[in-house]
Each structure stands twice: as structure tokens, then as C-alpha cells.
Amino acid sequence: MFAKLPTTLIAIVLASFSSGSFAQILENEAPAVPKNIVIMIGDGMGPAYTSAYRYYRDNHDTEEIEQTVFDRLLVGSASTYPARESGYVTDSAAAATALATGVKTYNGAISVDSEKQPIPTLMQQAKKAGMAIGVAVSSQVNHATPAAFLVHNESRRNYEAIAKDYLDTDADVILGGGQRYFSQALIEQFEQRGYQYLSDMQQLDQIQPGKVLGLFADVQLPWAIDEPNSNHLSRLTQVALDQLSQHPQGFVLLVEGSLIDWAGHNNDIATAMMEMHEFANAIEVVEQYVRQHSDTLMVVTADHSTGGLTIAANGTYEWHPKYLKNISATPRKLANASLADPQWQTSLVQQLGFDIDTDELRLLDQARMQGEAVLATAIKQLIDKRTNTGWTTGGHTGIDVPVFANGPAAKLFSGQQDNTDIANKIFSLLPRPGKAATKPKQPAAEVSATDKIMRAFHQDESLTTESATDTVEAKTQSPASDAAEIEPETTSQTTEEPSSLTTEKPSSQTESQPSSLTTEEPSSDKAIETEAESKAQTPQPTSDENPGTQPNVDTDNPAKAQQSADTVQATQAASPSSPELNQSATQPATH
């Protein structure tokens, strides 16, 4: 066939294949700038968590270790340190602010800078550009991470004020837990502004188009290990995508696997791996959406790592995740059941899925006599012993976290970067205010790659073989789509296209001062550090909930908070120096 073609055309075709431009032509069928953006945050999900999840999901009957969605989508990593005044180890609020605004701030801050001035967020910028916005999380919806994308407050602990400020965000979708913080009067205000209010997961089947506020738990959603087939976060993610997809001008969605962090604070490997599995399922929901909608970008990362998780411990080069697969509930729930069951030894063995020897049963029996919290800690320690899992802290660590991406402009997030870089890259992909995103133009008449080559040939038949080859190679080395990724600041702007890619940080001031700013001192992770020191002296567990206020209050069932408060009082006596332990048992703490 090539013998019948002109020499020039042969040169073009060969140069296209050899230099990769033929593949580039096909790749350029997808838009260079996304219409929709999904940001997914695994709270506390450091690199040890994604590695542990790989081995946890491995099929022992096969020779190879199977890939996970994290292996498949990994593109880079990110540093997570906060503003200088908070040192090197971030909390969730400062990290979420960095990811939402591109600006470093102090621990505890919700999208305000070190001077406590509000900073424009990605969600606010998207809304100004005419896009829809939403959040779907497994914690309370007004927790640190979703709050930093939607509102401003100088302290993450101002949960009620943050909930009230949500009313003015004009967010299209708000899904998660947190009924405790939304009064009936506030819910009625949401309804007056056109929101559907949902309080039961079953109501998702009857959801109507339009804005939705869904609060499905008092604080957090149920632990995935306690309800393994519920797939709450995956379902909320799919509902959010369905709702936001109805918006013609595109959307920005935040999805957070919040409870990975809470399990890490509690040094609970069994619960952590099930929360990882729930988050991985949600990622796959979004990944499938991206496959079906080539104009959608997904970016997945963590805000920090929690617990200092190690895959192996005690100088032994082994890790045994197989023991985790048969555990049927959180250690807290197992402990609670054991207290009420005279035959608790037999029942506990069945629920753990592995045998317990005589010495281990004796230790568990001693812990059982001291109450639910101490028994839950003993069960976690037994699981760590079986799996050879290690932990270094009940708080956060300062290590870098992985970054995953897929879809248009995914290459922007490759390599090492700071968490503020992630935000600024996403800012650069948003339409300018007043220039709403439109559906990317499709190639005219589905012109094939061969037809494009033929057209190029007919446009200039005077090309020689050498000049044609040089031309194709030159185009291949700097294609237009790559220019937008590598040197975004040089991309030209038009009145119809989104703004050029830049790394310029957004202004530190908004047009108006938020009403919720208070004079409360910024929070820190000192409570968790104090708790970690206390933990070394006593067998008390770290927090099952979000933050260090009440490390022994069980929040997988908020109704038990008062019962757990008795244990808290005992811990307070052991560690009176911790200011966090003196707060109300119903007040979630800081991650």
C-alpha cells in the first residue's frame, strides 16, 4: 500500500508513528480542560494505608499480588505541612484549607489565613463561574474538611456556626452526617431556600432533581466494618454525581473518606482497612463516571497521615492481614457485646475469626472487668499482635501523602508537589467568573487520524520528505495540549474558554467578611499529643471519633456517649494536664 503513496505522505505517516504524534492525535479527542472536577480526600490516608490496603485485598490463592485502584491511579505525592506557626505536622483543618484555597494556614483554621482573614475557596470560585458544587462525606458535613471548601471560620470547633454558614453557600448537594448540629429551625431555612431535606438513606431512592441536604446520622455515618454491605459513601457519591450532572455548566464535587482518620486515631487496623475499602469503592464509582464522561477530572489525595501505621512491627519481617478479613465489627462493638454475654469468650472468638489462647483470654478477662473502653483497647492490641501491626502515635504524622488522578489535565498532578499546588492547579482549570463551563466541542464529523494526515498532506504537496518529517517531529515535541499542562501560564485566553492554567495563588481577601468568625483561639493537636503520652502509661484507647476532645467516647453509636463518659472521667484523672479531656463528651475533637 505504501508503495503507491507519494514519498512525502509516507514520511508524514512514518514520522507520526515513530514520534508518537499519531497516538497524540487520538489522545487529543478528549478535552484538555475538564468541565467537571471531583476532588476526593482520604482523611488520614498516608502511604502506609494504601500499601496495607493492597495486601489486605490480596488473594492468597494467586501467585501475584493484585493491583488496587490506588495502584492504578497513582501519579505523584504531596507535602502537607501547615503554616510556619504550626510547625511541620498539620491537622485536617489546615490541610483542607491548603487543598481548598492554595494557602497555608495555622492548625484549626477553616479557610482563613494566619491573620484570620477569609481566603476564597475552590467551591466559591466554581459557584461564581456558574458551576454546581457539592460535598459527600462519611463524617458530619460540617467537619473540618468539607467546611474548609465551603465556608470560613477561625476555629474548626465552631460546628454550629459553620452549619449555619452553609445556608449561604448555595451548595447544590450536602450529604453526610451531623444532624446534631442542624436545628429544626435551620433545616426549615434550608427547605425555604429550595433544599430537599433527607434524614434516612432510604429516601435517596425518591430524591428529586435540585438542591439536597442529606444528614443521615447524629455525627458520623456507621463504621463500614459494622455494616459491610451498606456502602454508604459509595452510594452518597453516586447520588451526588447524579444530582450534579444535571447542571449544564459543570460541577465541582468533594468526596471525603473521613473515617479512615478516625480509625487511625484509635489505632484500629481492622476498622481502618474497612474504611479504606469503602473509600476505594467510592473512588471506583468516580473512576467509572470519568470513563463515561471524558470531560471529568478526578483528583484523589490525603490531607495527612494518621497514627504512624507500620506494616510489620517488633523487629519481625511479617504482616498478616488475613486475620483482618473475618473480623465482623469494631473492637468497641465487640467489647460492648462481650460485657452483656456470659459466654463472651466463645462469641468473641467467632466474631474475631481466629482462636485465642489461654493467656490471651486471661488478659481479655481482666480488661473486661474494667469496662468497655479498656476491653476494646485489649481487643485492638490482640488484633495488632496477630497481624503484627505497629503504631507510633494516636495523632498525625508529617509524612508526604500520595496523589492520584485521572481524566483531562491529570498529568498536571504528576510528581512531587505541595498540597497548595494541588489547589492552585485546580483553580487554574476553573472557568473565570461569568464564563461558565460549556460542553467541550467534539471533532468535526469524527475525522479519523488517517484523514487528518491526508488533509495535512494535501494542504502542502510541495513538502519534501525531510521537511515533512521535521515538521511532524516539531509538533510532536510540543503539542498544544501538553503546553497547557507544562507551561500553563503561557496558554492564551479567549472569551469562550476557561482561564489559562496558572499557579498564582488566590487573593487572601473576599468581598465580604463572613459572619461566623469568632475570637476563639485556634485549635491544635496538643490534645492528641497529650493523649498519646497518657496512652503510653495507661491501656485506655484513643478516640473513635474525630478529634482529641474525648478520646474514649464511642461515636460509632452516639447514643452511648454518656455511657462512655464514665470512662473519660477515669482517663481525666490519669491525665489531668490535657485540656481536651475536660470538655463535654458530646463535643467532637480535633483531627
Give tens-digit pLDDT for 335-358: 999 999 999 999 999 999 999 999
> How many angstroms separate the Cα of 207 from the Cα of each of 114, 173, 286?
41, 12, 20
Question: Mean pLDDT across the stretch 381-390?
Answer: 98
Beta bridge partners of 255: 40, 136
Catalytic residue among 77, 86, 92, 575: 92
Q: What CATH number belongs to 326-387?
A: 1.10.60.40
Q: Average pLDDT, whole number, for the chain?
A: 79
The CA distance from 119 to 111, in Å, is: 6
Given a cut of 70, whether residue 280 has pLDDT beyond it is yes
Given a cut of 70, whether residue 154 has pLDDT beyond it is yes
Angle at 434 between CA 242 and CA 411, to 5 degrees: 60
The SS3 of residue 322 is helix
Q: Outline where DSSP puts E strands in 43-152.
A: 74-79, 132-140
Closest CA to 69 of 300, 245, 335: 300
Q: What is the tens place of the pLDDT at every residue in 42-96?
A: 999 999 999 999 999 999 899 999 999 999 999 999 999 999 999 999 999 999 9
Question: Mean pLDDT across the stretch 407-419?
Answer: 97
Closest CA to 536 of 584, 574, 488, 588: 574
Instruction: Count how many Cα atoms sit within 13 Å of the Cα of residue 249 in the half-sphere of its side chain.
Output: 19
Given a cut of 60, whether residue 137 has pLDDT beyond it is yes
With a pLDDT cut of 90, the percent of the chain lying above it is 67
Q: What is the tens place of the pLDDT at every residue in 368-381?
A: 999 999 999 999 99
Verify whether residue 92 is a known catalytic residue: yes
Given a cut of 50, whether residue 541 has pLDDT beyond it is no
Specify the domain boundaries for CATH 1.10.60.40 within the chain. Answer: 326-387
Question: Mean pLDDT across the stretch 103-108?
Answer: 98
pTM of this structure: 0.74
Specify the domain boundaries for CATH 3.40.720.10 within the chain. Answer: 42-172+247-310+395-429
Q: What is the tens place of the pLDDT at every residue in 446-468?
A: 444 444 444 444 444 443 334 43
Q: What was the pLDDT predicted at 591?
A: 57
Cell of 194: 429550595
The answer to whether residues 327 and 271 touch, using CB atoms and an 8 Å cutoff, is no
What is the architecture, at CATH level 2, of domain 42-172+247-310+395-429?
A: 3-Layer(aba) Sandwich (3.40)
> How many angstroms separate the Cα of 532 from the Cα of each of 23, 456, 561?
54, 68, 21
Instruction: Count how many Cα atoms sit within 13 Å of the Cα of residue 206 in the half-sphere of its side chain.
Output: 7
